[in-house]
Amino acid sequence: MKDKEKILFYILGSFFVSNALLAEFIGVKIFSLEKTLGIQQFNFSFFGIDNLSFNLTAGVLLWPVVFIMTDIINEYFGRKGVRFMSFTAAALITYAYFMIYFSMELHPADFWVIRDTPNGSLNMDLAFDTIFGQGLWIIVGSLVAFLIGQLVDVTVFHFVKAKTGSSKIWLRATGSTLVSQFIDSFVVLFIAFYIGAGWDLKLVLAIGLVNYMYKFTIAVFLTPILYLLHYLIDIYLGKDLSEKLQLEATSK
């Protein structure tokens, strides 16, 4: 019985941490959602800022997985489980950034620096530093937003569960994600670009709202996956252990 519990926590935590870590690093790429889907670009106008569209970081591909894992860990292992994984992920992300910056200071081998490609010569060392050398404020903003978002998520999740009981998984899971992502969307931009880069507050708010529109839509569409994972985990654990863990999670 205990082995199943530990294996489940290990698997969920591994997906949680690995996706959070990867999301941070692929997030340096900004892509156009409309062009990727082959549709006409939206032209939103918020707070007096025109021509806004879904230009998003590639990290949005993985953050939904992180928040699904958050809700599932919350369901079976409670606040302590989520906090443990959140702080573990934050510590490993910080460690990874230090290692990246250390690697940027290494003197490149002569034969590696210039690489010929069909599109011309590429300075590999410059490309490496440009891609991974995110600004300090972006790193700080991302980590702070991640931790605040996780702590808000777990709080809202258990507040809703206390009101509704074990039913309405969609309400506590999707509801907590929508609230935490609303805060996350603005905190990271506020720290990274309002404080760190001096952007106009209206521009920060406008971009944050567009980002949240995307996250809101994805959170709603991913709700069925929560039910599928819940179903599969219940089969794996068995009815008695599943109910035991969920009951204990409410008091953790």
pLDDT at 30 exceeding the cut of 90:
no
Q: What rounded mean pLDDT belongs to the chain?
A: 86
Can you read off the two tokens belonging to residue 52? 């806004």
Question: Tens digit of pLDDT for each residue in 101-158?
Answer: 899 999 999 998 998 888 888 899 988 888 887 766 778 888 888 889 888 888 888 8
Cβ-based burial of 171 (10 A; exposed 0-12, middle 13-18, buried ≥19): middle
Q: Which helix (H) or strand (E) holds 62?
A: none
pLDDT of 1 above 60: no
Residue 152 to residue 138: CA distance in whole angstroms: 21
Average pLDDT in the 166-184 region?
Answer: 82
Report yes or no: 125 and 105 within 8 Å, Cβ to Cβ.
no
What is the model's pLDDT at position 137?
76
Tens-digit pLDDT profile for residues 31-74:
899 999 999 988 889 888 888 898 888 888 888 888 888 989 99
Q: Which residue has the higher pLDDT, 151 or 162?
A: 151
Q: Whole-angstrom Cα distance, residue 113 to residue 209?
A: 41
Domain count within the chain: 1
Range of the domain at 169: 2-249
Cβ neighbours around 198 below 10 Å, total: 7
For the stretch 66-95, pLDDT in tens is 888 898 999 899 889 999 999 999 999 999
Q: Taking the model in full, what pTM does it have?
A: 0.85
**Residues with Cβ < 8 Å from 249, sequence gap 6 or more?**
74, 75, 76, 77, 78, 81
The encoded tokens of residue 252 equal: 């953790």
SS3 56: strand
